[in-house]
Structure 1
């Protein structure tokens, strides 16, 4: 699924997914939405991108050992 070209579109989709992930106990919404929203937000927000990169480095080191 292609990402929207506008920054506002990406931010609104990412924020909506994170908000929907917080309501994961409801039937249609799920906890899977929060990490997906953070990935979408990491394209535009530097502090989310740094956290995602640290997690990726930690995960690769963990898998290597």
Structure 2
């Protein structure tokens, strides 16, 4: 454990200890916004369709 713990971290740790049902809500929110299933075929198609960007976008000579 770290030597320093911020006031916010202490508050959240105590609050979650008093409200354990919120841990499930956190997991649901994370699954909704962040934990998405990965599709390898679609990702490969997106990677292949990328167009290279010039080093200097406004250079008309290259």
Return the TM-score normalized by structure 2.
0.32
If asked which structure has higher relative contact order (CA below 8 Å, sep 6+), I would say 1
Q: Kindly name which structure, 1 or 2, has the bigger radius of gyration based on alpha carbons.
A: 2
Q: Comparing both structures, which one devotes a greater share of its residues to helix?
A: 1
